[in-house]
């Protein structure tokens, strides 16, 4: 059984690598021309905006057709399914062969340490392990 899981994970990794290599990077319209504009995506709303009108030669805009396949949508590049965790109780019932956890950024130090300890006991992979040393 374990051999099939690793083979399946390797296939998924290859599929993710292939699809994400073809992924288009959507940049904010006119950010290449105006330095004051950041590159993070904003929808073009101008009446005569060439990006909104999708004129040939201008960067593409975000559309439904660019979405990734369901099979790889919530999968980390390591091949595990990502699960965001807020409390240690949420770790129960997670299969360590399928799931990897991310600790939510709003979780405090004490609860973060509890989650890390429990995840290590259950053999779960932690995608954002920040180890905070206790001050004595």
DSSP-assigned letters across all residues of 48-87: T-TTTTT-TTSPP---GGGPPPGGGTTB-TTSPEEEEESS
pLDDT at 1: 46
- Listed range (27-31, 72-76, 121-125) with the worst mean pLDDT: 72-76
Q: pLDDT grade, residue 113 (50/70/90)?
A: very high
Give the count of domains, the chain.
Answer: 2
Looking at the structure, tell me whether residues 16 and 61 fall in a common domain: yes
Residue 21, domain member (yes or no): yes
What range does the domain containing 99 cover? Answer: 81-126
Residue 74, domain member (yes or no): no
CA 119/CA 115 separation, integer angstroms: 6
Q: Which long-range contacts (CB under 8 A, 24 or more apart) does 101-108 make?
A: 101/125, 101/126, 101/127, 102/126, 102/127, 102/128, 103/128, 103/130
Give per-residue pLDDT as tens, 39-75.
999 999 999 999 999 999 998 999 998 888 888 887 8
Which two structure tokens, joined as six digits, stand for 65? 């057709």
CA 76/CA 58 separation, integer angstroms: 31
Looking at the structure, tell me whether residues 39 and 15 fall in a common domain: yes
Q: Where is the domain boundary, 22, 43, 68?
A: 68
Looking at the structure, tell me whether residues 61 and 87 fall in a common domain: no
Residue 28, domain member (yes or no): yes
Name which of 82, 93, 92 is nearest 127 in CA terms: 82
pTM (predicted TM-score): 0.66
Q: Where is the domain boundary, 24, 42, 68?
A: 68
Looking at the structure, tell me whether residues 21 and 58 fall in a common domain: yes
pLDDT at 47: 96
Whether residue 105 is predicted with pLDDT greater than 90 in this model: the reply is yes
Looking at the structure, tell me whether residues 85 and 37 fall in a common domain: no
Pairwise pLDDT comparison (51 vs 9), residue with the higher score:
51
pLDDT at 61: 92
């Amino acid at each position: 059984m374990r051999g099939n899981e690793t083979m399946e994970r390797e296939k998924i990794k290859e599929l993710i690598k292939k699809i994400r290599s073809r992924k288009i990077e959507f940049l904010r319209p006119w950010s290449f021309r105006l330095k004051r504009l950041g590159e993070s995506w904003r929808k073009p709303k101008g009446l005569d905006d060439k990006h909104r009108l999708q004129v040939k030669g201008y960067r593409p805009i975000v559309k439904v057709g660019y979405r990734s396949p369901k099979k790889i949508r919530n999968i980390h590049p390591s091949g595990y399914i990502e699960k965001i965790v807020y409390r240690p109780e949420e770790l129960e019932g997670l299969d360590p062969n399928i799931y990897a956890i991310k600790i939510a950024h709003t979780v405090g130090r004490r609860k973060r340490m509890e989650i890390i300890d429990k995840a290590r006991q259950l053999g779960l992979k932690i995608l954002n392990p920040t180890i905070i040393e206790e001050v004595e």
